[in-house]
Each structure stands twice: as structure tokens, then as C-alpha cells.
Amino acid sequence: MQPRRLRLTKRAKIFIATSAVLAATASVTVAQAGEDARKCGAFETITMGKYYINNNLWGQNDGTGTQCVWDNSRNGNTISWGTDYSWTSKPGEENSVKSYSSSVLGWHWGWKVDKASTELPVRVGDRKPINTRWEFSVSSNPGTMNVAYDLWLHNKNNADWPDQPTDELMIWLNRQGGAGPLGSKVATVSLGGATWDLYEGDIGWKVHSFVRTSNTTKATLNLDDFTHELVRRNLLSNSKYISGIEAGTEVFRGTGRLDTKAYSVDVT
């Protein structure tokens, strides 16, 4: 069976249940970049300018293991960071995601960095360029995982921690070990100089996944191209707001490492 992004109704329940706890403890868990080089506790974070690195272990109860994150450097809006992990699955949970350690810009069940500095939210219909660059490496045998952007969208421009999103947009740049997205394939499209398979699913909010047909470790994209493609296909409304932009690795199982050499997002 292909490991796919399954059981995500459980993810929704975990996010909603833990959001209040995370909001309450944000002042404790957020550390300044360089203050402590390595964070291994669930949902511990490291601020890096307008971003923060989140050791997001939302599916840890489906497995046994550890994961850590650390910061390397920041130069203006460009950051470098890393994560390593080792996960085994409990019986019956081999195809469930254990973690999504990631860089967060903007909303993630609340705001941990000054909202004004994030340049978000952005209304989809305004067609503002959202330019991003990501260069990374994965270990030679990283297990079953993907490296992907994860965008959150809401009906309103003032979403806070209790507000469930209406849409989630994933952009998979790299996948290993047979990992696959939620839902069913509906199209193959060309965007940003590459070809992508588009999948559609629903877990209480709509999940749109663009999966690159060939792996890469370097991308320069305008995220507006992807939301506009969904609008063009009547899969997303122009009235929605992009509230959060994340970039990291979803791990199903295995031992490995992701090193982000350079990452940036700029809304213009």
C-alpha cells in the first residue's frame, strides 16, 4: 500500500485541541534565533526574523521516535535551518504522518510573530506576487517523507487561533519512500517551469496538493501561480485569504535529515 497522507481527520482534531495550549505557551516556547541551537520538544519554536521554526510533531502519538530542529543563519529575509528525525510506526499507523517540522510565516493556529512583519494575510483575488526560493538537501536514505510547502487559507483576513481554515494548499517538491498526498488526482499541470500532478481531498477543509512529477532540491516559485490555477479550475474562490505559509518535511517513518540551505518568502 502506498504511504499516503491519510487519517488527517485526526490531524484536524489534534490541531484544534492543541491550539489553545500552543497559544497559551507561545511566550515560553519561542526562542530567539541562536539562543539555543537545538529544540527537540514537541511544538518548540525558534524565531528567525519574520519566520519561526516549528518542531511540529502533530502525529507523534501514532509512532515512537524523536525529532529536533535548529537554526543556522539569517540574512535579511533569507534563512537557513535544519531538522533530523527518527520515527517508527505503531501497528496500523505505518501510513500516517508523524511530524511536519517547518518554517512558518504568518498564521499557524494563531500568530507567534508580529503580524505586521509577516506581510500576511493576502487576498487571493488581489493577485499579489508571493515569491519564494528554497534550496535544501535530504539525507541519502530519509525513509518515507516529503518536502513541501503548506499554505493555509481562510474566509476572513483576521483569522486567529480558533479559526479553522477553509482550504489547505500543499506544494510537494520532493518525496521519498513512496509517500503520496491526500485525495485523488484530478489533473496534471505545468507551473513555475515544472510539471505537477494535482490532487483534491477533504478533511473538514479542502486540501489541494500539487505534487512535482520529478523530485527537486531547489525551487524558485511564485505561489500566486498555484492559487490562480485553483481559481481557474473553480477549485478555490478569489475571496479567500492566504493566512499562513509553511515549508518543511512531513515524515511517515524512517530516520533522516532535511537541511534548508536558503529559504525566503516575499509578498510584493
Q: For residue 4, what pLDDT is reported?
A: 57
**Rounded distance between C-alpha atoms, residue 59 and residue 100, angstroms:** 9
37 pLDDT band, cuts 50/70/90, is confident
**Rounded distance between C-alpha atoms, residue 167 and residue 241, angstroms:** 10
Largest distance between two CA atoms of the chain: 47
**Rounded distance between C-alpha atoms, residue 223 and residue 247, angstroms:** 12
Query: Which CATH number applies to 8-267?
Result: 2.60.120.180
**Rounded distance between C-alpha atoms, residue 136 and residue 28, angstroms:** 29
Lowest mean pLDDT across 34-48, 60-74, 108-122, 145-159: 34-48
**Rounded distance between C-alpha atoms, residue 267 and residue 79, angstroms:** 16
5 pLDDT band, cuts 50/70/90, is low
Q: For residue 43, what pLDDT is reported?
A: 97
**Rounded distance between C-alpha atoms, residue 172 and residue 146, angstroms:** 7
Buried b / exposed e along 178-216 (16+ C-beta atoms within 10 A)? ebbbbbeeeeebebbeeebbbbbbebebbbbbbbbeeee
What residue spans define the domains of the chain?
8-267
Q: For residue 20, what pLDDT is reported?
A: 34
Tell me which DSSP letter residue 161 carries: T
- Residue-wise pLDDT for 118-173, tens only, equals 999 999 999 999 999 999 999 999 999 999 999 999 999 999 999 999 999 999 99
Q: Is pLDDT of 35 > 90?
A: no
Could you tell me which residues come within 8 angstroms of residue 4 by beta carbon, excluding any fewer than 6 positions away? 95, 179, 180, 181, 182
